[in-house]
């Protein structure tokens, strides 16, 4: 069983969209999306520097657009078979990409919703200077206890020895100076706020209002939620979880446990791929994976799909 996954914020790098825009029809499609949400996605995906695409209001729509574009490109490859995918999931903002692929919301709804999400979370981030940092290594209970001692929240429990802390910049600095026992290092992330914590509570009301404009359908594939790793059966529940998740922890560890329970035998990560397949290689040992970093990776993904379709 194949699982399709979509990465979250921090996966973006300067110029990562450039080769994808060279695919037939891609530039026109991204141009139409840009006009619809009033954000020049092509510029930010090709010419903007790291600081510009670190902006939450920019990064989130850019990531969803890239995910949707790479999913469409994948669908044009030889031997593509949607039925080979047994489940879909996204990390944080990647859940919106996953919801679109699963047929819960349309691409237009996904871009509109993520634009609102990015702006709302950027506004919430401006209230207090906050950030996030990945703690690599260490026992989960020990790391979480250390974070709570410093006033930080475990915003992402990613599995494979990675927990992302979120809080004020002073708290992040304290974590860098005093690593949890057993951890190897602390790495600051390319994000501009303490996402998935109480700092994002103001954004929840904004998203709840925006969600009223959506017309969700039930997922066509098993949709695995960040909230608790459960498979969500209805479109209404998916959307409700998309609204609340901005202020709740991401439990990617539980998502990967669900993949294993479902019998995952392959993972494909949409553009800009690499982060989630990296976690899977450590937590789901022996499961083959392909990360779509550039269009050159499409053939490898097609080969994996062909194996499963057969």
Catalytic residues: 92, 196
Considering Cα of 40, then 46, then 47, then 51, what sign does the dihedral take? positive
Structural contact between residues 53 and 12, judged by C-beta atoms closer than 8 angstroms: yes
Q: Are residues 104 and 221 in contact, defined by beta-carbon separation less than 8 angstroms? A: no
Instruction: Report the sign of the C-alpha dihedral through residues 165, 169, 175, 176, in that order.
Output: positive
The count of C-alpha atoms lying within 13 angstroms of the C-alpha of 91, restricted to the half-sphere facing its C-beta, is 29
Helix axes 56-75, 94-101, angle to 10 degrees: 30
Q: Is there a contact between 96 and 113 (Cβ–Cβ < 8 Å)? A: yes
Buried-exposed string 32-58: b where 16+ CB fall within 10 A, e elsewhere: ebbeebebbbbebbbebeeeebbbbbb
In this structure, the dihedral spanned by the alpha carbons of residues 103, 105, 108 and 113, taken in order and rounded to 10 degrees, is -140
CB 306 within 8 A of CB 3: no
Q: Are 309 and 84 in contact (CB under 8 A)?
A: yes
CA dihedral for 306, 72, 115, 233, sign (positive or negative): negative
- DSSP bridge pairs for 131: 167
Enumerate the β-bridge partners of residue 3: 87, 267
d(CA 11, CA 59): 9
């Amino acid at each position: 069983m194949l699982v399709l996954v979509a990465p979250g914020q921090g996966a973006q790098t300067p110029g990562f969209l450039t080769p994808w825009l060279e695919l037939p029809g891609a530039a026109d499609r991204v141009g139409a999306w840009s006009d619809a949400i009033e954000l020049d996605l092509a510029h930010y995906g090709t010419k903007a520097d790291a600081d510009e695409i670190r902006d939450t209001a920019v990064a989130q729509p850019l990531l969803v657009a890239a995910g949707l574009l790479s999913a469409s490109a994948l669908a044009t490859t030889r031997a593509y078979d949607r039925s080979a995918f047994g489940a879909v999931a996204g990390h944080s903002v990647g859940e919106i990409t996953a919801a679109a692929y699963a047929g819960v919301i349309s691409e237009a709804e996904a871009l509109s919703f993520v634009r609102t999400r990015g702006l709302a979370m950027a506004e919430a981030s401006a209230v207090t200077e906050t950030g996030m940092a990945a703690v690599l290594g260490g026992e989960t209970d020990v790391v979480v206890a250390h974070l709570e001692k410093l006033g930080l929240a475990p915003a992402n429990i990613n599995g494979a020895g990675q927990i992302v802390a979120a809080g004020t910049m002073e708290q992040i600095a304290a974590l860098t100076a005093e690593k949890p026992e057993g951890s190897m290092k602390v790495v600051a992330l390319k994000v501009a706020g303490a996402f998935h914590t109480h700092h994002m509570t103001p954004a929840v009301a904004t998203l709840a209002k925006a969600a009223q404009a959506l017309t969700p359908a039930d997922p066509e594939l098993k949709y695995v939620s960040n909230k608790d790793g459960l498979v969500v059966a209805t479109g209404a529940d998916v959307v409700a979880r998309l609204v609340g998740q901005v202020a709740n922890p991401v439990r990617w560890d539980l998502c990967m446990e669900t993949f294993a329970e479902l019998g995952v035998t392959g993972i494909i990560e949409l553009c800009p791929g690499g982060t989630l397949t990296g976690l899977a290689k450590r937590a789901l040992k022996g499961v083959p994976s392909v990360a779509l970093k550039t269009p050159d990776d499409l053939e490898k993904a097609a080969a994996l799909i062909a194996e499963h379709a057969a």
